Structure 1
Amino acid sequence: MNKPTIYITRKIPPYLIEPFSQYFQFQMWEDEHTPIPREILMREAKEADGLLCLLTEKIDRAFLDHASHLKIIANMAVGYDNIDVEAAKEKGIIVTNTPDVLTETTADLTFALLMATARRLVEANHFIYQDKWGEWSPFLLAGTDIHHKTIGIVGMGRIGEAVARRAKGFQMNLLYHNRTRKKTVEQELDVSYVSFEELLEKSDFVVSLLPLSEQTENIFDKRAFEQMKSSAIFINVSRGGVVDEKALYDALKNKVITAAGLDVFKDEPIPSSHPFTSLSNVVLLPHIGSASITTRENMLTLCLENIRAVFQHEAPISPV
């Protein structure tokens, strides 16, 4: 009996695939860095029984109509706004994601980005490479304290909770806003639930960990930045689409807020000519929230375990 065919949309190491080769035959896009072109993905997925994809792949209704053999789509991410989940459900295709395995790693990166932005670390690093370091002066590259400040977390999911735990170590005052209150988390972490507007007004650091949806798209707009303190720092490690990037650029350029640290953007990758790159008060990262070797291995393994479970008539581990 022929093994089911699984198509993988980016090159991954053979040692991760090998344990599953007894169950499946694998085909993949043999490029580690460049997303598979749409027309090639459509062609390759036409006969595939399962798909392991990234956020860079748009799995819409047209794709699902075309890839009629699919039983499962394993998305290598927590978010799944790249997939038309309703259309997949209509067609009986299971969609899975990779929660939990990247929580702590992404929280590490979130707090690292917050610290780098507050203390102007990238700017300071460039200062040396540009041979600008001369005599010491009292306010040379002086940044913002983190300890004992107020952090406002917008989106208190698993990653938000992990960021809150890190903030407690810096003796920060914690506020959060979420679609639903989490009273157990409030008690455990001594974090206060407030409205979105109150969070913006009171926070020294506003951290976005929101999923992208119709309700959250462009939620950080001109009005939101104007509600923040002029000393506030904005951090986004969720989805670029939750931010009106023109409004954020204007807020940074005109000192409406002090700085921003961004790991995600509306259209990725961004070019070196992007307006944000002209600003000295923003730290830009290329969407590396979960980018540790161990975590990326765990994410891919979870995708493959979900696929194995479905084809062995078991419940998937992490269904959407």
Structure 2
Amino acid sequence: MTKPTILVTRRLPVAVEQRLQQDYTAWLNPSDQPYSSAELIAKSQGADALLISLTDRLTADLIQQLPTSVKAIATFSVGYDHIDLAAAHQRQLAVIYTPGVLTEATADATLLLLLGAARRASEGEQLLRSGNWQGIRPTELLGTEVHGKRLGIYGMGRIGQAVAQRARGFMMEIHYHNRHRLPPEREQGAVFHEQVEDLLRVSDFLSLHCPSTPETEGFLNASRIALLPDRAIVINAARGTLIVEDDLIAALRSGKIAAVGLDVYQNEPHVNPALRSLPNTFLLPHLGSATVETRTAMGMLLIDNLNALFAGKQPLNLVKIG
């Protein structure tokens, strides 16, 4: 039997690419340079499925121009806001994503952001690397303790719950807002706030863990920042579109917000120059799932789902659209 053909738009972990070449006719991208829309359309001619990443913006116009041979879009991500789902539904394309397998790595990265922002790690490292450190001083780079503080979690799904579990190790008091309250066994003592405004008022640390949707886009704006306790710390390892960056920058400059830890940005990969220049920002380049184990698991999960699809079975990780 002829193997289905998969167009792969970016480099993937070696084990994933090897399995793709074993199970499929895999058109890989050895240069790892993102394809333009025109290149993606041209290279997809004859492909049965696309395996894309967050850097690929599949607009309605692009999807409409895909060849009829394409039956599925597999995205190497847990988010899928870079895909026009209505256009995919109209074309009857299956959209497959990678929930679950990146939970632990992203939760680890969230705690890295939280600690890095609270303890002024970026400033400390820059001081050391510049050669300007003159030795310990009792008042130098004083940060904020994490132990015993109130952590507000906006979005208590898999990742939010994993972050809460880790934060309890620091004896943090967990508060959260979610579309639905969790059952007691999953809350584990966390305080539910039905109104997000009430969550903000008690969040010494605020960590964002909701998907990017029309309802959550621009969630953290000037009016909501004003509700946070003075000198709060904001963490975002979810989506850059959740924050109005100009409002956040103003709050960092005024001191309303003591610091931020960010792994995602409004206009990736173009990071606002003010965020890069401010001293009270701890920044990572979208590393939330960037471990060998997790990125490999993400790729294998997509292949499992594609195998099911081409075997005439229902893939487990279909995005529900339409």
TM-score for both structures, normalised by structure 1? 0.95
One-letter amino acid of the counterpart of residue 44, structure 1: K
Identity of aligned residues (%): 38
Q: Counterparts of 2:242 and 2:79 in 1: how far apart (Å)?
A: 13
Q: Secondary structure at the match of 1:105?
A: helix
Residue 244 to residue 41, structure 1, CA distance change in 2 (3 Å): same
Q: Give unpaired runs (5+ residues) of structure 1.
A: none
Is residue 48–residue 71 contact of structure 2 (8 Å, CA) maintained in 1?
A: yes
Q: Indicate the residue corresponding to 1:107 in structure 2.
A: 107
Is residue 186–residue 192 contact of structure 1 (8 Å, CA) maintained in 2?
A: no
Q: Indicate the residue corresponding to 2:46 in structure 1.
A: 47
Q: Indicate the residue corresponding to 1:263 in structure 2.
A: 263
Q: Indicate the residue corresponding to 1:3 in structure 2.
A: 3
1:197-276 to structure 2, matched below 5 A, reads 197-270=197-270, 274-276=273-275
One-letter amino acid of the counterpart of residue 115, structure 1: L
Q: Deviations over 1:247-288 (max 9, x none)?
A: 0011101111111111000111125x7111110001111101
Q: Counterparts of 1:176 and 1:252 in 2: how far apart (Å)?
A: 23
Residue 47 to residue 192, structure 1, CA distance change in 2 (3 Å): same
- The Cα of 1:13 is off from its aligned counterpart by 4.5
Q: Indicate the residue corresponding to 1:296 in structure 2.
A: 295
Q: Indicate the residue corresponding to 2:28 in structure 1.
A: 28
Residue 250 to residue 185, structure 1, CA distance change in 2 (3 Å): farther
Q: Counterparts of 2:244 and 2:23 in 1: how far apart (Å)?
A: 45
Q: Indicate the residue corresponding to 2:168 in structure 1.
A: 168
Q: Deviations over 1:54-111 (max 9, x none)?
A: 0111112222221122111111111100111222123221111101110000000001
Q: Secondary structure at the match of 1:163?
A: helix
- The Cα of 1:14 is off from its aligned counterpart by 4.8
- The Cα of 1:185 is off from its aligned counterpart by 5.1
- The Cα of 1:22 is off from its aligned counterpart by 4.6
Q: Give unpaired runs (5+ residues) of structure 2.
A: none
Q: Indicate the residue corresponding to 2:56 in structure 1.
A: 57
Residues 8-17 or 100-109, more deviating: 8-17
- The Cα of 1:134 is off from its aligned counterpart by 1.9
Q: Counterparts of 1:239 and 1:89 in 2: how far apart (Å)?
A: 24
Residue 3 to residue 107, structure 1, CA distance change in 2 (3 Å): same
Is residue 173–residue 191 contact of structure 1 (8 Å, CA) maintained in 2?
A: yes
Q: Secondary structure at the match of 2:92?
A: coil
Q: Secondary structure at the match of 1:267?
A: coil
Q: Counterparts of 1:92 and 1:307 in 2: how far apart (Å)?
A: 15
Q: Counterparts of 1:85 and 1:60 in 2: how far apart (Å)?
A: 9
Q: Counterparts of 2:19 and 2:101 in 1: how far apart (Å)?
A: 19
Q: Counterparts of 2:96 and 2:15 in 1: how far apart (Å)?
A: 22
Q: Indicate the residue corresponding to 2:285 in structure 1.
A: 286
Q: Counterparts of 2:101 and 2:230 in 1: how far apart (Å)?
A: 36
Q: Secondary structure at the match of 1:206?
A: strand
Q: Counterparts of 2:52 and 2:207 in 1: how far apart (Å)?
A: 28
Q: Deviations over 1:32-61 (max 9, x none)?
A: 3x3222211111123211111101111122
Q: Deviations over 1:1-35 (max 9, x none)?
A: 43221100102345423334454211122223x32
Q: Counterparts of 1:293 and 1:10 in 2: how far apart (Å)?
A: 16
One-letter amino acid of the counterpart of residue 261, structure 1: G
- The Cα of 1:317 is off from its aligned counterpart by 2.4
* 1:190 maps to 2:189: yes
Q: Counterparts of 2:258 and 2:264 in 1: how far apart (Å)?
A: 19
Is residue 122–residue 281 contact of structure 2 (8 Å, CA) maintained in 1?
A: no
One-letter amino acid of the counterpart of residue 53, structure 2: L
Q: What do you get for the CA RMSD once the two structures are aligned?
A: 1.5
Q: Counterparts of 1:227 and 1:15 in 2: how far apart (Å)?
A: 47
Q: Indicate the residue corresponding to 1:80 in structure 2.
A: 80
- The Cα of 1:126 is off from its aligned counterpart by 1.1
Aligned residues between the structures: 317
Q: Indicate the residue corresponding to 2:65 in structure 1.
A: 66
Q: Runs of 4+ in structure 1 displaced over 6 angstroms?
A: none
Q: Counterparts of 2:247 and 2:54 in 1: how far apart (Å)?
A: 25
